[in-house]
Amino acid sequence: MKENRNEIVINAPPEQVWQVLTDLEHYSEWNPLLYRGSGTVKLGETVVVDAKTATKDMNFVCKVIKVEPFKEFAWKFHVIHPILFRGVHALRIEPIDQETVTFIDTESFWGLLLPTQAKDLTTNGLTAMIEMGSALKERVEALH
């Protein structure tokens, strides 16, 4: 297994961060990693996101596997076949106080092709997550 993790403090209430994170249709306006999204963040639903990778843009059809409103949601995805490459992307909001949160973004990966992707995930993948966190902070704080 391989995991990437990024944390950033956002000066806004959890509800406002949640609203931006779950509005997949507007990802194209602010999100440099997941630059297009569609679907509803609801347990068991399918969401589709387009993501920038180091080598190409990819389309992921994901199943929402966890939803705790204003706290966390996660989806799972795979490339070609789950045994080859699969992952879980979790987005969590942890309140610091009523007007400040820590946004925690994690991606966990498994599969037979993981060794061929590990270096890219550690470098470019993590960099993209950091850029997404910064863009989320900027978007939410501008709305707040």
Give the confidence band of 142 by pLDDT, cuts at 50, 70, 90. Answer: very high
Cβ-based neighbour number of residue 10 at 10 Å: 24
Residue 103 has pLDDT above 90, yes or no: yes
pLDDT at 105: 98
Buried b (16+ CB within 10 A) or exposed e, 128-143: bbbebbebbbebbeee
Distance separating alpha carbons of residues 142 and 72, to the nearest angstrom: 22
* CATH number for 104: 3.30.530.20
- Three-state SS for 105? strand
Q: Which residue range is the domain that position 20 belongs to? A: 2-143
Total domains in the chain come to 1
Question: Each residue of 23-62: pLDDT tens digit?
Answer: 999 999 999 999 999 999 999 999 999 998 767 789 999 9
**pLDDT the model gives residue 1:** 94
**Secondary element (H or E) of residue 121:** none
Q: Which pLDDT score is estimated for 122?
A: 81
What pLDDT, on the 0 to 100 scale, is given for residue 54? 64
pLDDT of residue 109: 95
